Structure 1
């Protein structure tokens, strides 16, 4: 096991002190730089930086970044959500590290969903039933992982399946 312990630091946004969400840093007890390319290969990071090594993922409207000595996550409800996500990422780091012999490391960002591919499958009525002002904004939120296909009530069953299949290759749940 590569990472066994961490210290969680919860912070409020400095640029928005009255914001409802919090951010967290999980300070790791072990340097995970060597595991980052393997985690990237398994989870498909949207941003990969070679030096110093880090990988960033977009999921459910959050940015999750693994650095060599810490994990950072933004837009959290509370400490419980922070712990859930950090512990999931630590499991992913440990699993990737333990299985590294069967994983080809990736040093590049993975392809991300294309906005126009998503928009083509939406009804394009701007009905606002999804709580977004337009279908384009909703498509953007889908691409970010902040919304799900179930949030679009007028979506046809056929296009719902196509969209779920398409987005399934990009998003993950923790």
Structure 2
């Protein structure tokens, strides 16, 4: 087993959402060498080679993996924090076992801008999604607080290619 243990070192209420927690944990082994392999394998990961970090969104949670430690925000409770640590440990160990089969990816995936997403929306400002404008909807899509299914006009036949492009962008960020 490559990564034997993850120990929680810090836990507090989350500054972004008072009903959730944030925590930090330390790895028993420096896993820096595995991060580019995880980056290649987890298509919605955002890797930063300069600071050796990899960020993954799991629903509303933000999980950042560094070479020697872990930082997580918006976890539901302490029990979930331990579940996340187990998931990270399993991800690291499984990736390490399969690293000969994976081509490491050292590049950072770029998050699309609100304007890039907006470009593919119908731009009707119909408010059917609950937002005042399509630009506001694009911003909510990128923050993960809105779902593309809320935009009914994008599902019309004329917008089929645009829908696929938006779905691809959202998939690269780890959204459904």
Structure 1: unaligned runs, 5 residues or longer: none
CA deviations over 1:30-66 (Å, ceiling 9, x no partner):
2211111111222253340334x22223453443211
Give the C-alpha shift of residue 138 in structure 1: 2.9
Against the structure 1 CA distance between its residues 122 and 172, is the aligned structure 2 distance closer, same or farther, given a 3 Å change threshold?
A: closer
Alignment partner, residue 4 of structure 2:
4
DSSP-derived class of the 2:63 partner: strand
CA deviations over 1:99-154 (Å, ceiling 9, x no partner):
11121222221132343342234344262744x5543233223224443323x153
| Number of aligned residue pairs | 168
Indicate if the aligned counterparts of 2:16 and 2:74 stay in contact, CA closer than 8 A.
no
The range that moved more, 152-161 or 39-48, is: 152-161
Alignment partner, residue 111 of structure 2:
112
Alignment partner, residue 167 of structure 1:
170
Against the structure 1 CA distance between its residues 79 and 156, is the aligned structure 2 distance closer, same or farther, given a 3 Å change threshold?
A: same
Indicate if the aligned counterparts of 2:39 and 2:54 stay in contact, CA closer than 8 A.
yes
Distance 1:85 1:118 in 2: 30
TM-score, normalized by length of structure 2?
A: 0.74
Indicate if the aligned counterparts of 1:123 and 1:155 stay in contact, CA closer than 8 A.
yes
Larger radius of gyration: 2
Distance 1:102 1:59 in 2: 25
Structure 2: unaligned runs, 5 residues or longer: none
